[in-house]
Amino acid sequence: MINAIVHKLAVRRLAQMRSLADDPRDAQERVFNYLLSRAYSTSFGRDHALHNVRNHRDWVRAVPLRDYDGIASYFDRARSGEPDVCWPGYIRYWAISSGTTSGEKYLPVSMETIRGNRQGGFDAIAPCVAARDPKLFSGRLLFLGGSTKLRKHGENWIGDNTGIMTLHIPQLLRRWHTPGQSVVGLPSWEEKIARAVEISSKQDVRMISGVPSWMVIFSEKVLAHTGKSSLKEVWPNLGLFVHGGMSFGPYRERFRQLAGSFVWTTDTYSASEGGMLAVQDEQNDPGMLPLVDQGVFFEFVPVEELGKDSPTRLTLGEVETGVDYAVVLNSDSGIFGYLVGDSVRFTSMQPCKLVFAGRLKHTLNAFGEHVSGGELDRAIAAACEETGNAVEEYAVATRYPDSERSVGGHVYYVEFRREPGDVDEFARQIDAAIMAGNEDYTAHREKGYGMAAPVVRVVAPGGFYEWMKTRGRLGGQNKVPRVLSRDLETDFLQIARVAETAL
């Protein structure tokens, strides 16, 4: 009965999501007006004269673009217990951002955002349920996120964003949730994984959800615990893997091997600043439908204009395909004009679909090559496909010219699933994949005058895991930084065993 109801709702919601994505302007205008009506009487609203804002043009004049440092003073006031700072009333939940590019950030999470994220969770399963009806609610739904054990700060609660959302899973749905509240509340990621493996391996798990890198590790531990050769042997009815937080590309082939047979995979784009933002609706199309009716008003700035005094700020109805845009969020948690640090690229306009293009600070540009994090992920995935390799993790550092080399280049630290064979060929495939889509990189690589060919250094098994463990960054929304600064590279090399290779 429950599966039939969910299937009917999923079909209806998916049709609505696609219809809204065909022309998102009306839905986004409603969200825009809603945010204005709630925020104009707050401290932020008075400071920015929001009562005079009538349209997006007025908004751009009134509300400047900000990163976290630019809006932190408002958040600090709200976190200290002051009401009506950026959003009406008190904000009782605060997410500690797991951002890999800066220190801790405390982001407001309103009850409106929590309710919207519940809807976003359903939106993530709707495409699979509508197309295949895997009867998810005849078994268990496994979520692996951050700890639900929050820290008390005055009248507020502070913790991992996924932990906050897990705490607010509707009571009705908890009967299907595994491994259960007592396990997801464990602060130790390794203990949580061990208990989750023990519990879930005995259950009829039909859906799994989490960050790709950690879910691959979890899946490997499930197989080691059960002695089975594939997840489908452990969970014959496994029908859906919902993932997000990072590109799935480098992990896709490994997950296919672990699964053993077809499992529907749904990519999502989310952020602590706005919850669930976009959902993949088709298996053969990586593009994601933006969720335009969930309390977030989207703006987009062409990446090439970042740093200008008055960069162009576009709405969903004004963007174009094939351009990398920085994402600007305005949400019902009182976050406005906020540069989240991500870039996306639109792949179609009817319906409107986007793909994650990378973190803005995860860009290699020491020589003017402008290689984004998304390009790195795609190049690694292409190299895996061409050489038959599987990658557990990777990161990239820059080698600068010095007394021993006249030109610099990129060094890839790669942890392979198995013995990689010809590492030089893997590096050549990375090089070719980036040159195929990046004119700046190609110009610097031609004849080796501006940049040397990339080099791959093999990381011993478990190297990235141990490094993340020493940094206190296991599990949840934590991700291996794709681009290593000099300090991070030095720190990494002190922990991981890496084969010696000269550039």
**Burial profile 372-401: b = 16 or more Cβ within 10 angstroms, e = fewer:** bbbbbbbbbbbbbeebebbbbbbbbbbbee
Strand partners, 415: 393
- What amino acid occupies position 43? S
Written as tens digits, the pLDDT of the chain (503 aa) is: 899 999 999 999 999 999 999 999 999 999 999 999 999 999 999 999 999 999 999 999 999 999 999 999 999 999 999 999 999 999 999 998 754 444 678 999 999 999 999 999 999 999 999 998 889 999 999 998 888 889 898 889 998 888 899 888 887 788 899 998 888 888 888 899 999 999 999 999 999 999 888 899 899 999 999 999 999 999 999 999 999 988 888 888 889 999 999 999 999 999 888 889 999 999 999 999 999 999 999 999 999 898 888 999 999 999 999 999 999 999 999 999 999 989 999 999 999 999 998 888 778 888 888 898 888 999 999 999 999 998 999 999 998 887 677 788 999 999 998 888 899 999 999 999 999 988 889 888 886 668 999 999 999 999 999 999 999 888 777 889 899 988 899 999 999 988 765 44
Pick among 3.40.50, 3.20.20, 3.30.300, 1.10.1060: CATH of 373-495: 3.30.300
Supply 287's token pair.
């593009």
Return the SS3 of 424: helix
CB 67 within 8 A of CB 341: yes
CB burial of residue 58 (10 Å; 0-12, 13-18, 19+): middle
- What amino acid occupies position 451? M
Strand partners, 280: 288
Give, in degrees to the nearest 5, the angle at Cα 37 between 31 and 42: 120
Q: What phi and psi values does residue 93 have, to the nearest 5 degrees? A: -115, 140
Residue with tokens 């463990």: 469
118: number of Cβ within 10 Å: 18
Nearest to 345 by CA among 376, 283, 300: 300
Return the SS3 of 392: strand
Q: What phi and psi values does residue 302 have, to the nearest 5 degrees? A: -55, 130
Helices 111-132 and 2-22 cross at an angle (nearest 10°) of 100
CB 299 within 8 A of CB 330: yes
